[in-house]
């Protein structure tokens, strides 16, 4: 099989694996009120149902890199999907919040692994100059998965109850598992990573503490803090503020994910063509931060649809830029998976803290106050992006001023 064709087949299998994991991640928001009523939970525990999914992701972010090296591209991805299947089945059998939380945590292992393994595989198969487009496609894995779940949850709940949604998630992950097993492998050029464990401890620590990777992780963490917090509670907000039923509220929130899908593709094409990719990230963080000002303060029902579409389109540029830039923050391309692991830590920390932070604010019923943590996170993320942009300018300036060899 021609290498380019194989690369895109591997990309497709990894992408479908990500969609399966993301679809399972977003089972809770459209069913939040149902779960609160049937399992006798309060809103705080409801928030932790989303954040518990990120616990394993935080813990496994960097270890996932070593799992990838130990098990290989195929083994690590199959482990991720296997955890998703087991976790979703555990949740489907839950009769209390504790067991449901346990299932969500097991599913989170799948998220923690696939969010590192899949983009690392893409980096293996695509050279840096051609990486923007496949990374743009990959960046839509969570929006596509969440869009599907937000719109399938209502019909599935009507036909099978909330447990049917959990069984559906397990079945989809099983299908992705089979496809991944049949298609995915690592290219021979990726074998260079096997040499990394022979570094000295001091060298390993120096690489692990690369500032640019952690600042990029901080920027991405503030983005996922805002994104997951909003997607978790926006259906409840629209229901209480504008009287929308659960299905209508979920559909309106899913428009954010719908707009992200073409946005990531456009962002990928732009990143393949521009020289200053950090400027794209900075501009995207600024626009998303501005939009968050109105997240829980929409003036009327008439602005819901245009707001969701605009927010989604702007949001798509952030993960696309992050996944594309992450390998470039490391000293060499063979360390791309480590950079992605660090970014995954930031991603999951944001997802971990976002929903409970908003839950703590809205417990008193004040939806407008929920804007505060989102705006604060957006400001921190913007500062991080500006730092990365300024660092790139300083680096290029230093290179241009360096004496040239005769």
Q: Is residue 79 within 8 Å of residue 66, measured between CB atoms?
A: no
Contacts 24+ apart (CB under 8 A), 3-8: 3/187, 6/125, 7/125, 7/126, 7/134, 7/187, 8/134
- Classify 361 as helix, strand or coil: helix
Please check whether residue 56 lies inside any domain of the structure: yes
Q: What is the pLDDT of residue 312?
A: 94
The structure tokens 């930031």 sit at: 346
Look at residue 234 and tell me if it is in a domain. yes
Evaluate whether residue 188 is within a structural domain: no
Q: What pLDDT was estimated at residue 193?
A: 46
Average pLDDT of the residues in 194-202:
48
Question: Is residue 81 assigned to a domain?
Answer: yes
Position 321 pLDDT exceeds 90: yes
Q: Is 114 a member of any domain?
A: yes
Q: Is residue 200's pLDDT more than 50?
A: no
Per the structure block, which two tokens stand in for 299?
A: 């003036």
Are 137 and 11 in contact, with CB atoms under 8 Å apart?
A: yes
- Say if 195 falls within a structural domain: no
Q: Give the chain's largest Cα–Cα span.
A: 76
Domain of 322: which CATH number? 1.20.1250.20
Q: Tens digits of per-residue pLDDT, 127-151?
A: 777 777 888 888 888 888 988 998 8
Task: Quote the distance between the C-alpha of residue 57 and its chain's center.
Answer: 10
Examine residue 311 and state whether it is found in any structural domain, yes or no: yes
Distance of CA 269 to the CA centre of its chain: 20
The boundaries of the domain holding residue 324 are 3-181+202-401
| Total tally of structural domains belonging to the chain | 1
Nearest CA among 324, 342, 328 for reference residue 64: 342
In this predicted structure, the answer to whether residue 308 has a pLDDT above a threshold of 80 is: yes
Residue 37: inside a domain, yes or no?
yes
pTM score above 0.95: no
Cβ atoms 137, 264 nearer than 8 A:
yes
Structure tokens at 193: 């990573």
| Other CB atoms within 10 A of residue 406 CB | 3
Q: What is the pLDDT of residues 69-78, one digit of tens each?
A: 788 888 999 9
Alpha helices, DSSP H only, in 96-245? 97-125, 132-138, 141-183, 201-208, 211-242
């Amino acid at each position: 099989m021609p290498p380019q064709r194989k690369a895109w087949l591997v990309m497709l299998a990894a992408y479908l694996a990500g969609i399966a994991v993301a679809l399972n991640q977003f089972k809770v928001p459209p069913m939040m009120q149902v779960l609160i009523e049937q399992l006798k939970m309060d809103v705080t525990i409801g928030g932790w149902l989303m954040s518990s999914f990120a616990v394993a992701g935080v813990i496994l972010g960097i270890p996932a890199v070593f799992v990838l090296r130990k098990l290989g591209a195929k083994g690590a991805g199959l482990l991720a999907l296997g955890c998703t299947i087991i976790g979703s089945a555990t949740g489907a059998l839950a009769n209390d919040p504790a067991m449901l939380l346990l299932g969500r945590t097991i599913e989170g292992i799948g998220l923690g692994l696939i969010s590192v393994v899949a983009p690392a595989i893409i980096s293996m198969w695509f050279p840096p100059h051609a990486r923007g487009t496949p990374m743009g496609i990959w960046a839509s894995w969570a929006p596509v998965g969440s869009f599907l779940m937000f719109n399938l949850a209502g019909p599935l709940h009507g036909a099978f109850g909330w447990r049917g949604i959990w069984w559906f998630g397990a079945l989809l992950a099983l299908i992705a598992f089979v496809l991944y097993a049949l298609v995915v492998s690592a290219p021979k050029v990726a074998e260079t990573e096997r040499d990394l464990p022979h570094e000295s401890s001091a060298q390993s620590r120096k690489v692990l503490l690369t500032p640019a990777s952690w600042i990029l992780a901080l920027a991405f963490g503030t983005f996922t803090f805002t994104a997951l917090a909003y997607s978790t509670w926006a259906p409840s907000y629209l229901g209480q503020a504008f009287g929308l039923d659960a299905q209508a509220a979920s559909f309106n929130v899913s428009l954010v994910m719908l707009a992200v899908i073409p946005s990531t593709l456009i962002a990928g094409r732009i990143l393949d063509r521009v020289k200053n990719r950090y400027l794209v990230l900075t501009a995207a963080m600024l626009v998303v931060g501005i939009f968050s000002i109105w997240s829980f303060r929409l003036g009327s029902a008439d602005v819901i649809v245009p707001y969701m579409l605009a927010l989604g389109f702007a949001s798509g540029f952030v993960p696309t830029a992050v996944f594309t830039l992450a390998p470039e923050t490391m000293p060499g391309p063979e360390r791309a998976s480590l950079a992605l692991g660090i970014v995954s830590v930031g991603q999951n920390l944001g997802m971990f803290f976002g929903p409970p932070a908003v839950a703590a604010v809205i417990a008193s019923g004040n939806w407008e106050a929920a804007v505060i943590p989102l705006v604060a996170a957006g400001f921190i993320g913007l500062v991080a992006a500006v730092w990365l942009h300024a660092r790139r300018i300083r680096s290029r300036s230093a290179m241009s001023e360096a004496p040239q060899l005769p």
